[in-house]
Structure 1
Amino acid sequence: MAHRLDPVQLDFVETAPLRLVFATEVSATPAELYRALAEDVEGWPAWFRAIVSARPTDGGAGREVRLRGGTRFEETIMAAEPDSRYAYRVDVTNAPGVRAMVEEWRLTPTDSGRTRVQWTMAVSGAAPIRFVMRLGRAGMGQAFRDAVRRLDRRIAAAAA
């Protein structure tokens, strides 16, 4: 059963009771990565295997995302800063125990000509959901790194 989450603001990324932060570096430019994140929402399942479907809603102001296992999210885009940041708040989900959630992607060029990709998942929820998310941190980190590597390869193949 879907339920509405607390309508937190973007600063929740820094103040949430639980913050999972993952980062890696890739060859794609911040502009290429931003386009894949913010403008090719429907392409997410091709590189982020946990996602079954993703589509923009409300003329691009929101997203609807479905994960493997049946979890669904209705989201509002909170930040769309070309080449540097893309963030969204989950407004409605069928995931039990979650009270608020914001995810943020930061794209930062490095001195070596690569891009540092940082994904932050900020969550408020019941103790069991926080426990499960902490327990799953390593797996989520690996899923993130694998997904971003696949995205990097996808971008390189499209440019070739």
Structure 2
Amino acid sequence: MSRPLRPVGIDFVESAPLRLVYAAELSASPEDIYHALADDVSGWPRWFTAVTAARPLGQGTGREIRLRGGAVLRETILAAQPSERYAYRVDEANTPGLRALVEEWLLTPAGNGTRLRWTFAVDGSGPFRFALRLGRPGMGRAFRDAARRLDERLRGPAA
């Protein structure tokens, strides 16, 4: 059963009790990556394997995300700065122990591509935070795999 989470603002990215931050270098442009993140919401499952379904809500002001394992998240977009930043807050979730969550994707030009940084800022019960800390390496692998898949997808078929 879904329940409301604590409404937090974009500043929660810096003040959350637990912050998991991951980064990767992609050959794709910031514009193309931003489009995949913010505009092609339903395309997320094609490159982020933890996501089984994604759909925009409220004319692009929110999203519903379904994750492997059965988690369902309803989100509100907090920042949509083309080619620079995309962030959202989870408003409702069926995840036990989760109290507040903001995810931020920062895109920075780097060489001939983009540096992509994902921040997972969260508050939850003690056991929830403990489980996330234990799962940090797995989340890192999931992020790196997603970044690689996204980059491959944006490059298109090899010539």
Give unmatched runs, 5+ long, in structure 1: none
Aligned match of 1:135 = 134
* Alpha-carbon distance, 1:117 to partner: 0.3
* One-letter amino acid matched to 1:37: L
* One-letter amino acid matched to 1:10: I
Aligned match of 1:113 = 112
* Alpha-carbon distance, 1:159 to partner: 9.8
| Inter-partner Cα distance in structure 2 for 1:99 and 1:51 | 20
* Alpha-carbon distance, 1:113 to partner: 1.7
Aligned match of 2:146 = 147
| Inter-partner Cα distance in structure 1 for 2:38 and 2:45 | 14
**SS at 2:52's partner residue?**
strand
| Inter-partner Cα distance in structure 2 for 1:31 and 1:158 | 19
Aligned match of 2:62 = 62
CA offsets, 1:107-144, max 9 Å, x none?
A: 0011x222100000000010000000000000000100
1:73 aligns with 2:73: yes
| Inter-partner Cα distance in structure 1 for 2:40 and 2:158 | 15
Dislocated runs of 4+, deviation >6 Å: none
Aligned length: 159
| Inter-partner Cα distance in structure 2 for 1:93 and 1:130 | 16
Identity of aligned residues (%): 61
The correspondence of residues 74-93 of structure 1 with structure 2, limited to 5 A, is: 74-93=74-93
**SS at 1:136's partner residue?**
helix
Calculate the TM-score normalised by the size of structure 2.
0.98
| Inter-partner Cα distance in structure 2 for 1:50 and 1:89 | 18
CA offsets, 1:70-118, max 9 Å, x none?
A: 00000000000000000000000000001100000000011x2221000
Q: CA RMSD in A?
A: 1.1
